[in-house]
């Protein structure tokens, strides 16, 4: 092969690729700026104007979001960049938008509690790091990129998990680190085997698919599962979910909110691409959809039943987020174009509802309510906050009149539709317990309102017009609006033409 031969056009497409990297570049510069702000501005170091880095990071995420939006509108079809290392399509743009908004909300949530937090600028930088890693991960199809961006997210998360500088935080990040490294090693092993089997480091490439065609063996299955393990770890899905409860319990609330959305969605994106790749246009010997479906249903069930008896609110939400990653996986299990679109819708709704809940959990935590029994009787004194929280929880459950219902309806519709087209009874077997799980989930979701409203307890009245209530109200209105008029958002999502 001739090396100089390829060189000019390689430089050519590198230059072309760069213009699709607006959001990522913004985030990168954001990280630098925030760090420099932390170093240069003395008042940040002394902790007096702690808000500054957060505001800067917030602006950065919003800019990134705007840019992602821009190239959402710009490009219609998928374009692969950097020699196919990454793909930029509407699928990834959508996830980028959601992740940016999630990052922004996280920073917003961390504003009130930032004064008792040290190293605010590093904190902001790490949050941006997570978001940036999510950006890369949602785009990447090259194994190297997958691995690197996954590690980018992981390493930032390890540090963030311990950001409440307490014993619990240290323990959480330690566990997170050990588990995460192990799972990434496992994934790496799987990826290496896949590379060996196909001879291509890019899962979207043609020779990857051909290589799969040649080796439809058990080893391929094992390799795929090992690789899958890493993604499942990011999504906190079975069997790689074990870290989630402990870490969630340990981490500060905004970080937990971030964990429950951004790495999950990024992992979901890469998992979707991966499953689509290994199914190799449906010619594979193994029913990867069924595997994902199985994992999904196990995850849903495990998450829901385990959440039933939780005492700590954060821990309960951890299990709930596990269950929800199961619901998201259903979209992958069906793996039709609609189902992926519905999955995106679900992701958006889940993101909003989750932030409502975590926002209020932080609000109540600041008032000293840690465990669920602490909430007893607080609903009487603070009905506004609790009603908004209740709406968020109901949306997570999936009951009208909240968008959660629409999202679940659509997810199951997608499944049903897949069942209709590919007459695969397995999908039906996912459908039924999936629906039953909704009932189970209601129990723990309603426990906080139950304690707050029905159980008696002493509580002091508080004023309604708070910053949190305003934020919550906005998000709740979004949830309600998405129930009453989902067609706007859905029509938008319909533009996602999902190909590798």
Partner 1 sequence: MIPIEHYLILSAMLFSIGLMVVVVKRNAIAVLLGLELMLNAANINLVAFNLAHPERLDGQMFAVFVIIVAACEAAVGLAIILRAYRLFHTAVPDDISTLKES
Partner 2 sequence: MSPDADIAYLIVAASMIVLSAPLVSGILSALVPVRYSWLVSLTASFMLLIAVVGAVLLAWTAGLEQTRHFSTEWFTLGGSTVSAGILIDKYAVVMVLVVTIVSFLVHMYSAGYMAGDTSMRRYFVMLGFFTFTMLGIVLSDNLLILFMCWELVGFSSYMLIGHWMELPSAAKASRKAYIMNRVGDLGFIAGLMIVYRNTGTFDITMLAGHALQGWETAAALCFFLAITAKSAQFPLLTWLPDAMAGPTPVSALIHAATMVAAGVFLLARIHFLFPPPALQVVAAVGLATALTGAAAALGHFDIKRILAYSTVSQLGLMITALGMGAKDAAMLHLFTHAFFKAGLFLAAGAIIHTLHQAQMSTGETYDVQDIRNLGGLQRLMPVTFGVFLLCGASLSGLPMFSGFQSKEAILSSILHGHNTWGVMVAALFILAAFLTVVYTFRLIWFVFINNTSRPQWTTVPEVPFVMRFPMIVLALASLWWIVSPNPLSFSGWFMTGNAGALSTLTSMAVVLGALVFAYLFFRKKAAVPKVADILTSTFYLDTVFAVLVIRPVGHLSYLFSRIDRKYIDGILHGAAYAQVTLAHIVAWFDKVIIDGLVNLVARLAAWTGALVRTFQSGNIHMYIFWAGIGLVLLTLFIVA
Partner 3 sequence: MPDHILTYLIFLPVLAAFLALFVPRDRAMWFKVLNLATCALQVILVIMAVSRYGRETGELRLEERMEWFSLNLGTWGNLKAEYFLGVDGLSLPLIALSAFVMLIAAISSWTIVKSVKGYFILMLILNAAIIGSFAALDLLLFYLFFEFMLLPMFFLIGIWGGSRREYASIKFFLYTLCGSILILVAFIGLYISGSAPGDVATHTFNIMHLRDAGNYLPGSVLDPSGGWVIGGWPARNWAFLLLFVGFTIKLPMVPFHTWLPDAHVEAPTPVSVILAALLLKIGGYGLMRIAYPLFPDAALSLSWLVGLFGVVSIIYGALTAMASKDLKRLIAYSSVSHMGFVLLGMASATQEGVTGAVYQMVSHGVITTMLFLIAGVLYDRTSDRMIGNYSGLARIMPIYFAVVLIAFFASLGLPGFSGFIAEIMVFLGAFRSEVIHLSLAIIATLGLALGAAYYLWTLQRMFFGPLHVRGAATAEQLVDLGLREKTMFLPLAAITLILGIFPQLLLRYVDTFAVGFVALLTGGS
394 binds partner 3 (CB under 8 A): yes
Considering Cα of 373, then 375, then 379, then 385, what sign does the dihedral take?
negative
Quickly list H helices, 19-142: 22-40, 42-46, 51-74, 90-110, 120-139
Q: How far is the CB of 459 from partner 3 (least distance, A)?
A: 12
Decide which of partner 1, partner 3, partner 2, none touches 167; Cβ closer than 5 to 8 Å per partner kind. partner 1
Chain residues binding partner 2 by CB under 8 A are 174-175, 178-179, 182-183, 186, 218, 221-222, 225-226, 229, 238-240, 242-243, 245-246, 286, 290-291, 294-295, 301-302, 305-309, 440
Decide which of partner 2, partner 3, partner 1, none touches 201; Cβ closer than 5 to 8 Å per partner kind. partner 1
Report the residue number, 182 or 291, with the smaller CB distance to partner 1. Answer: 182
401 binds partner 3 (CB under 8 A): yes
In angstroms, the CA 10 to CA 8 distance is 5
22 binds partner 3 (CB under 8 A): no
395 binds partner 3 (CB under 8 A): no
Which of 69, 168, 409, 473 binds partner 3 (CB under 8 A)? It is: 409
Q: Which two tokens stand for residue 422?
A: 């590919």
399 phi-psi bin (left φ>0, alpha ψ -120 to 50, beta other): beta
32 binds partner 3 (CB under 8 A): no
139 contacts 95 by C-beta, under 8 angstroms = no
Cα Rg, the chain, nearest whole Å = 22
338 binds partner 3 (CB under 8 A): yes
Report the residue number, 311 or 435, with the smaller CB distance to partner 1. Answer: 311
In angstroms, the CA 24 to CA 166 distance is 33
Which of 25, 35, 78, 182 binds partner 1 (CB under 8 A)? It is: 182
Comparing C-alpha atoms, which of 270, 17, 263, 280 is closest to residue 139?
A: 270
179 contacts 243 by C-beta, under 8 angstroms = yes
Q: How far is the CB of 305 from partner 2 (least distance, A)?
A: 4
Report the residue number, 128 or 220, with the smaller CB distance to partner 2. Answer: 220
Which of 28, 416, 426, 429 binds partner 3 (CB under 8 A)? It is: 416
Which of 36, 170, 213, 446 binds partner 1 (CB under 8 A)? It is: 170
Buried residues in 246-256 as b, exposed as e (16+ CB within 10 A): bbbbbbbbbbb
145 contacts 133 by C-beta, under 8 angstroms = no
160 contacts 255 by C-beta, under 8 angstroms = yes
Kindly report whether the peptide bond that precedes residue 239 is cis, defined as omega within 30 degrees of 0: yes
In angstroms, the CA 118 to CA 58 distance is 18
453 binds partner 3 (CB under 8 A): yes
Decide which of partner 3, partner 2, partner 1, none touches 9; Cβ closer than 5 to 8 Å per partner kind. none
In angstroms, the CA 193 to CA 167 distance is 39
Neighbours of 186 (CB within 10 A): 18
Report the residue number, 354 or 391, with the smaller CB distance to partner 3. Answer: 391
Which of 170, 380, 422, 429 binds partner 3 (CB under 8 A)? It is: 380
Decide which of partner 1, partner 3, partner 2, none touches 143; Cβ closer than 5 to 8 Å per partner kind. partner 1
Q: How far is the CB of 414 from partner 2 (least distance, A)?
A: 23
459 binds partner 3 (CB under 8 A): no
449 contacts 326 by C-beta, under 8 angstroms = no
Mention every residue, 6+ apart, whose C-beta is less than 8 A from residue 109: 253, 254, 257, 355, 358, 359, 362
277 contacts 209 by C-beta, under 8 angstroms = yes
Residues that bind partner 1 (CB under 8 A): 1, 143-144, 147-148, 151, 155, 158-159, 162, 166-168, 170-175, 177-178, 181-182, 184-186, 188-189, 191-193, 195-196, 199-201, 245-246, 249-250, 310-312, 315
Residues that bind partner 3 (CB under 8 A): 337-338, 341, 380, 383, 394, 399-401, 405, 409-410, 412-413, 416-417, 420, 431-432, 435-436, 438-439, 442-443, 446, 450, 453-455, 484-487, 490-491, 494
């Amino acid at each position: 092969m001739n090396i100089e031969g390829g060189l000019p056009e390689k430089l050519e497409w590198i230059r072309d690729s760069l213009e699709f990297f607006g959001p990522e570049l913004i985030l990168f510069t954001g990280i630098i700026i925030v760090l420099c702000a932390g170093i240069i501005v003395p008042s940040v170091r002394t902790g007096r104007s702690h808000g500054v880095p957060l505001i800067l990071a917030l602006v950065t995420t919003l800019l990134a979001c705007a840019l992602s939006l821009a190239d959402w509108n710009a490009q219609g079809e998928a374009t692969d960049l950097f020699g196919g290392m990454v793909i930029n399509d509407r699928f990834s743009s959508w996830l980028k938008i959601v992740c940016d908004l999630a990052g922004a909300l996280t920073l917003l949530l961390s504003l009130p509690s930032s004064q008792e937090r040290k190293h605010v600028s590093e904190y902001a930088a790490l949050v941006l790091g997570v978001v940036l890693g999510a950006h890369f991960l949602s785009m990447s199809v090259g194994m190297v990129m997958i691995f690197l961006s996954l590690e980018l997210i992981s390493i930032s998360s390890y540090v963030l998990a311990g950001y409440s500088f307490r014993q619990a935080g240290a323990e959480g990040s330690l566990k997170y680190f050990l588990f995460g490294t192990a799972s990434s090693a496992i994934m790496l092993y799987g990826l290496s085997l896949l590379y060996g089997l196909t001879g291509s480091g890019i899962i979207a490439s043609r020779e990857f698919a051909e290589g799969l065609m040649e080796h439809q063996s058990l080893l391929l299955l094992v390799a795929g599962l090992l690789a899958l393990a890493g993604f499942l770890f990011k999504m906190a899905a079975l069997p790689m979910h074990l870290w989630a409860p402990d870490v969630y319990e340990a981490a500060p609330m905004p970080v937990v909110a971030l964990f429950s959305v951004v790495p999950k969605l990024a992992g979901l994106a890469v998992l979707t691409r991966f499953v689509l790749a290994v199914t190799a246009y449906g010619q594979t010997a193994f029913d990867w959809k069924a595997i994902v479906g199985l994992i999904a249903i196990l995850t849903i069930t495990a998450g829901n039943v385990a959440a039933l008896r939780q005492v700590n609110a954060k821990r309960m939400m951890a299990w709930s987020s596990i269950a929800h990653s199961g619901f998201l996986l259903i979209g992958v299990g069906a793996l039709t174009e609609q189902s992926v679109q519905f999955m995106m819708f679900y992701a958006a709704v889940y993101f909003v509802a989750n932030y409502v809940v975590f926002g209020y959990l932080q609000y109540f935590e600041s008032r000293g309510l840690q465990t669920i029994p602490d909430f007893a009787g607080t609903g009487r004194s603070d009905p506004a906050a609790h009603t908004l929280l209740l709406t968020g929880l109901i949306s997570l459950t999936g009951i009208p009149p909240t968008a959660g219902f629409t999202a679940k309806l659509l997810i199951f519709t997608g499944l049903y539709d897949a069942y209709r087209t590919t007459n695969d009874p397995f999908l039906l077997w996912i459908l039924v317990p999936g629906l039953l799980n909704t009932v189970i989930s209601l129990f723990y979701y309603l426990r906080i309102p139950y304690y707050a409203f029905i159980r008696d307890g002493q509580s002091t009245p508080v004023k309604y017009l708070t910053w949190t209530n305003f934020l919550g109200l906005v998000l709740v209105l979004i949830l309600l609006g998405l129930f009453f008029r989902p067609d706007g958002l859905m029509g938008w999502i319909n533009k996602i033409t999902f190909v590798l």
